[in-house]
């Protein structure tokens, strides 16, 4: 992707941040923020001098903005001011030059002849971005399934899963591409290898007929993986996977064949230490009923459900 297209992607993503924040949709605003950070990071890789410095600074600020938005919190004033400064009005056109070594400024990387649908036309999945020592990645399509498989295979110490629904996903196929997920087999193998596995789920009965395969998958784990612990939570709607307290994937997809196909789904993967730590804390608070949702919840299904098998230590 050239810097002109990257400039377009960055600008469109910045406009989406403002739009979604205005609607109070912090989740979608965070997705747009990470997309913008990714674009500026790529611009920095292909720039030098002041353009490089501006782009990397913006990427770092946008990652901080993403963290706040993912927590569902409004931006502090200093980040609002920083974000406002990123909107060039008007956007200057690129300055013609015969010097191939020159690099346009970040603000001038928009080609006025490109259509307004340039971002929609860019169907290539985003690559990982590196800001400082951390990496972040936006995922969609079957890449969600591939990433979950890779994460589970990397697990050496612990696996934490928060999910509304999961089933015995075997293979996910989208178009000509397939992913051998074998979800239950992977979890059972990791349990037997001594990896500590804790899963928080919604009550399968709350899903009606659709909960049949869900319950069967849970019962299989309880029978085949004697050390796996499961907590049934009446409110659980989060979909997240945390591995070894060092990386997290969070998004919209349930761990079902349809969900992991990634069609109409989105996920974010990161190994940012601060972000991962926040997710570990949130999971652990749910586990011992110390989250704000737990203290306000009147449904005590979690304490008595037949599928709950939990240690509090």
Let me know whether 259 and 284 are in one domain.
yes
Which two three-digit tokens encode residue 49? 């001098």
- Range among 114-123, 248-257, 281-290, 296-305 with highest mean pLDDT value: 248-257
Domain final position from 96, 126, 156:
126
Question: Which pLDDT belongs to residue 146?
Answer: 93
Give the integer Cα–Cα distance in Å for 26 and 265.
17
* Cβ neighbours, 10 Å, residue 27: 15
CB 279 within 8 A of CB 268: no
256 in a domain, yes or no? yes
Give the integer Cα–Cα distance in Å for 154 and 248.
12
Short-list 111, 120, 148, CA closest to 4: 111
Let me know whether 90 and 200 are in one domain.
no
Question: Which pLDDT belongs to residue 127?
Answer: 46
**Long-range contacts for 206-214 (Cβ within 8 Å, ≥24 apart)?**
206/234, 207/165, 210/165, 211/165, 213/167, 213/168, 214/165, 214/166, 214/167
Let me know whether 244 and 113 are in one domain.
no
**Section 257-268 average pLDDT:** 90
Let me know whether 84 and 155 are in one domain.
no
pLDDT band at residue 188, thresholds of 50, 70 and 90? Answer: very high
Instruction: Give the tens place of pLDDT for each residue, 153-170.
Output: 999 999 999 999 999 999
Let me know whether 32 and 116 are in one domain.
yes
Is the pTM for the entire model greater than 0.75? Answer: no
Let me know whether 169 and 109 are in one domain.
no
Q: How many domains does the chain have?
A: 2
Task: Tell me: pLDDT of 184 over 50.
Answer: yes
Instruction: Give the tens place of pLDDT for each residue, 82-137.
Output: 887 876 433 333 333 334 333 333 333 323 222 222 233 333 344 454 544 557 88
pLDDT band at residue 22, thresholds of 50, 70 and 90? Answer: confident
**Residue range of the domain that includes 91:** 3-126
Task: Tell me: pLDDT of 6 over 70.
Answer: yes
296 in a domain, yes or no? yes
């Amino acid at each position: 992707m050239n810097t002109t297209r990257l400039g377009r992607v960055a600008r469109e993503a910045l406009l989406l941040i403002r739009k979604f924040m205005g609607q109070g949709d912090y989740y979608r605003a965070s997705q747009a923020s990470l997309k913008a950070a990714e674009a500026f990071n790529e611009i920095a890789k292909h720039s030098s001098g002041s353009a490089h410095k501006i782009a990397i600074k913006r990427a770092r600020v946008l990652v901080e903005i993403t963290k706040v938005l993912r927590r569902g919190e409004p931006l502090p004033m200093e980040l609002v001011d920083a974000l406002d400064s990123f909107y060039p009005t008007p956007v200057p056109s690129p300055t013609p030059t015969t010097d191939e070594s020159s690099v346009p400024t970040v603000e001038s990387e928009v080609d006025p002849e490109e259509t307004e649908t340039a971002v929609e036309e860019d169907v290539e999945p985003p690559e990982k971005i590196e800001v400082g020592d951390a990496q972040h990645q936006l995922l969609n399509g079957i890449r969600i399934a591939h990433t979950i498989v890779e994460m589970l295979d990397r697990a050496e110490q612990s696996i934490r899963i928060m999910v509304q629904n999961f089933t015995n996903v075997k293979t996910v196929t989208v178009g000509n591409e397939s992913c051998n997920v074998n979800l239950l087999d992977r979890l059972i193998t990791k349990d037997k290898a001594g990896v500590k596995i804790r899963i928080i789920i919604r009550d399968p009965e709350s899903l009606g007929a659709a909960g049949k395969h869900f319950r069967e998958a849970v019962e299989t784990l309880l029978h085949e993986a004697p050390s796996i612990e499961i907590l049934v939570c009446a409110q659980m709607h989060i979909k997240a996977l945390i591995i070894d307290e060092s990386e997290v994937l969070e998004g919209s997809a349930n761990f079902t064949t349809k969900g992991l196909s990634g069609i109409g789904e989105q996920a974010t993967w990161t190994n940012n230490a601060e972000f991962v730590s926040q997710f570990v804390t949130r999971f652990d608070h749910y586990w011992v009923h110390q989250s704000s949702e737990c203290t306000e919840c009147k449904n005590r299904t979690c304490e008595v459900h037949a599928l709950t098998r939990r240690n509090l230590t």
